[in-house]
Amino acid sequence: MTAQRQYPPLYEKGIPVLLALIVVLALALLALTVLVVLGVFPA
């Protein structure tokens, strides 16, 4: 039976947290862009 491969602990936990943060920031940016296109936020 082969053990599941692991990254070092810092990266094992850190990478998904950072990716979640990137997704949140990207969604915020998308919302901002929509507001700019709609003219709510200045272009």
Partner 1 sequence: MFAYVPLLSFFVSLTLTGFVLHRWTQRRRPHLLLWGVGALFYGIGGFAEFYYGLFGWQPLVFRLWYLFGAILVAAWLGQGTAYLLLPRQWAHGLMTVLLLGSLYAAWRVFTAPLAPDQMLNGELSGHALPASVRLLTPFFNLYGTALLVGGAAYSAWIFWRKRVLLHRAIGNVLIAFGALLPAFGGAFSRAGIPYALYLGEFFGILLIFIGFWRATHPGDAAANKD
Q: Which residues bind partner 1 (CB under 8 A)?
A: 3-8, 11, 15-16, 18-19, 22-23, 25-26, 29-30, 32-33, 36-37, 41-43
Q: How far is the CB of 27 from partner 1 (least distance, A)?
A: 11
Encoded tokens for 29 = 């940016």
Of the two residues 1 and 3, which places its CB atom closer to partner 1 in the complex? 3
* Angle in degrees, CA 29, 17, 25, rounded to 5: 5
User: What does the CA dihedral 10, 11, 14, 17 come to, rounded to 10 degrees?
Assistant: -160
Q: How far is the CB of 1 from partner 1 (least distance, A)?
A: 13
